[in-house]
Amino acid sequence: MIESVRSYHKFRALFEDFVISNDNFSQVKKTIDIKTKQTRYPIISEEDGLSINIDEYKAYITGFPKVIYNNANISKKSTYSNLSYTQFKSSITWFNDFIIEPETTVSAIKFGFSITTKIEGKELVNLNILMHNFQYYNHNTKPKKNQVLKEFVYTNYTIGVYTEKKNASKKRLIKIVLHLKKSVEFRKFGIKNISDLTAPKKLKALFGLLMEKFNDLIIVDSFQSFEGKDNELLQMFMIHWYWKNLALTKSRQTVSMHKKKFLELINKYGLNTQKIYLAKELKKAFKEFISN
């Protein structure tokens, strides 16, 4: 399910005029220089699931399908519930009415699902989700008071896992979201304009990319220490600094061999049940989404 989609307007001045003069936006904020009477950017507006940001050079509009849906319906969707395809499509259709230029293109997409967990989401995020592609996480970029999160940040994308801290009804729920920050990541699927996001085939391609990035997560079940060399290796492999130092001091071949050994040990001792379960739940969530 699309969490958010950002669209870039090529003709900034045209879109700025549309935002300021159109009755669809009841609150538009901008700063006026008292002496020169000139507008000082940015011009911003947030309303009905839309977020507008216009600076001196660029104009963006971001749509949040679930917020759009909730604003239009009496029955609301919570943060940790997924829209159906029909609900999502109606939200995108409404959002598309605010795209005033044929050449407007999608510039960023957040795509993911809320799924159930075998253990408490907080425990899973804190203790079992260790790394992504053997890289450490950064969960301080957007600190949130009531949320436990781990984000793995790359140039073109960020993959994040989130769960509530205190809400008892959501103890066994997490949200896995892939934030595609560069259009190169989704243009290869033929996604250029907002309307492309309603094509099931293209949504399936996005989901395939989400699963690809999910598979790179290092998720290890909790286990009790045992005697022997394998235990020592597992304990060592689970420390992110080990991989950082290894990459700096050893050859690529050596690093590759150690990665392979770690994954073999996870499979050997059955420490992958959490990851297998989450993968099944993700596939189940997408199937439910696309078929309703």
User: What φ, ψ does residue 132 adopt, rounded to 5°?
Assistant: -130, 120
pLDDT tens digits for 7-57?
A: 988 888 888 888 888 777 888 888 887 777 777 888 898 888 999 999 988
Kindly report the pTM of this predicted structure: 0.90
CB atoms within 10 A of CB 22: 11
Contacts of 65 (CB under 8 A, 6+ apart): 1, 2, 3, 4, 5, 49, 83, 87, 88, 91, 92, 95
Top pLDDT among 117 and 75 is at 117
Kindly state the percentage of the chain with pLDDT values over 70: 95
Kindly state the percentage of the chain with pLDDT values over 90: 60
